[in-house]
Amino acid sequence: MIGGDPMTCRGEGSGSKSIIRRKKNQKGFTILELLIVGAILGILAGIAVPIYLSFLKRARQVEAPVALNEVQRLESMYFAFNGGYGTLDEIGYHPATALRYYTVTLELIPASNGPSASYIATAAGNIDSDPDEDIWTIVPDGTLQHLQAD
C-alpha cells in the first residue's frame, strides 16, 4: 500500500494505474456486474423460450393422432358389423377425456348404392394461438397424415 490510502493499492510494476478496493463493510454488486448478469439471463431466455414453446406444441399435437386412431378403431368395428361406415355418433365416438386443442370431424364418402364406402376423419385445432391451424387426417386403412403444421 502506498500513501496510506486504504482504498488504493498498486501492484508491482503497475505504475500509476490503481485498483480500487471495496471497503470491508461495503456490500452489494456494482452496476457493471448487474448488467453482465442481466445480459447473460437475456441470452439464455432468448434461447430457452423458443425451445420450450416448440416442445409444448409437440406435446399438444399428440392429442390429434390419439383421437383419430380411436375414430379409425371404432369405424373398423362398425364396418365389421354393418358393412359400411357411420357418423361419429353412430360409431359411439365419445373421447374419455375432452379434447383441449382439436376438434374431430368425419366426412363419409358415399357409395353408388348402399352404405358409405369410405371416410376421412379430420382433427383440426390451434395449438399455439396464432392464426394457423394444425390439421391431421386418417382414412380407413389407418393412414395418418399431418396436412398442415401450426
Residue range 10-34, pLDDT digits in tens: 555 555 444 556 566 667 889 999 9
Interhelix angle 31-61/63-82, nearest 10 degrees: 0
> Residue 92's domain spans which residues?
62-148
* Total count of domains within the chain: 2
Residue range 20-79, pLDDT digits in tens: 565 666 678 899 999 999 999 999 999 999 999 889 999 999 999 999 999 999 999 999
Distance CA 48, CA 27 (A): 32
Q: Are 61 and 127 in contact (CB under 8 A)?
A: yes
Non-local CB neighbours of 107 within 8 Å, separated by 6+ positions:
119, 120, 121, 122
Residues 40 and 70 in one domain: no
Distance CA 128, CA 125 (A): 9
Asked if the structure places residue 126 within a domain, the reply is yes
Residues 23 and 79 in one domain: no
Which pTM was predicted?
0.70
Asked if the structure places residue 3 within a domain, the reply is no
Asked if the structure places residue 22 within a domain, the reply is yes
Pairing of β 144-148 and β 134-138: antiparallel
Residues 77 and 139 in one domain: yes
Residues 105 and 49 in one domain: no
